[in-house]
Amino acid sequence: MENMFSIGELSKYQNISKQTLIFYDKIGLFCPEYVDSKNGYRYYSAKQIDYLDTILVMKKIGFSLKEIQEHMKNYNIENSISVMTNQIGVIEKQVDELNHIKNKLTHKVSQLKAIDFSKKELVEIEEINEQYILMYPVESPYTPAKVSIATKKCLSEAFAKELPTFFQIGVSVPLKHIVSGDCISATKAFVSTEKTNESENVYTLPKGKTVCAYHFGDYSTIGEAYGRILEYCRKNRLKIISDSYEFCINDYITTGNEKEFITKIIFYLE
């Protein structure tokens, strides 16, 4: 048709799929000026190309299709200034969130790169700074499945409340379990976070003196690392005053091979 564009032509000119144009038509966002009653072919006028440009620009800026549709019912310079000014605020928030994620990922990558395999058999004394964890109890009988559920609760709350996380999970095992030889029955699961009043499940791990060791490999063999810690404390007459805190340095988030798992274990000392 003269001075009209078929859906195929418009798709090519605007670098947009036919399926997208059909969808826009169905939701009433961008409808063809003419539809052939015989074959159902859609045709668009030259003027409509500018209208489609506006939709695509607003979509690129970050507006939802519903927001675009509502805005374009009766838009002018005044309300365009209003909605775009508001969108600047939305974008600034997204930039802050992305920078936060970038910083945490950078920290995680640095942590993985800094792994010192020479410490595989070592037990060390370490002064740690105050840190925060979002923690949930693990339901009895403290199986791996129960631990996984508690971990998911931590992550779900962190995401729902937009709490800062470090992409690092962990568990706490009671000292009495460990002494009795049960080193895998964790009673709490946690994710590392920052100080916040947004959740009653955020706890402080205080600054203090700790004894620590690394476990390399499958979690089921972590008892060997606990044995090293207990023996070290016995020989050096050190008194453990806390349950253990296991920080997963390399886990299922960063590897599919359990032999590559790395866990840092700490206890607070008197």
Distance CA 181, CA 223 (A): 8
DSSP letter for each residue of 126-144: EEE--EEEEEEEPPTT--H
* 5-24 pLDDT, tens digit each: 999 999 998 999 999 999 99
Mean pLDDT rounded to a whole number for the chain: 93
- b/e burial code for range 213-239 (CB count within 10 A of at least 16 → b): bbbbbebeebeebbebbbebbeeeebe
* 59-68 pLDDT, tens digit each: 999 999 999 9
* 42-100 pLDDT, tens digit each: 999 988 988 999 999 999 999 999 999 999 988 899 999 999 999 999 999 999 988 98
* 184-233 pLDDT, tens digit each: 999 999 999 999 999 999 999 999 999 999 999 999 999 999 999 999 99
With bands split at pLDDT 50, 70 and 90, how would you rate the model's confidence at 1?
Answer: low
Residue with more model confidence, 101 or 262: 262
Residue whose C-alpha is closest to residue 163's, from 187, 136, 196: 196
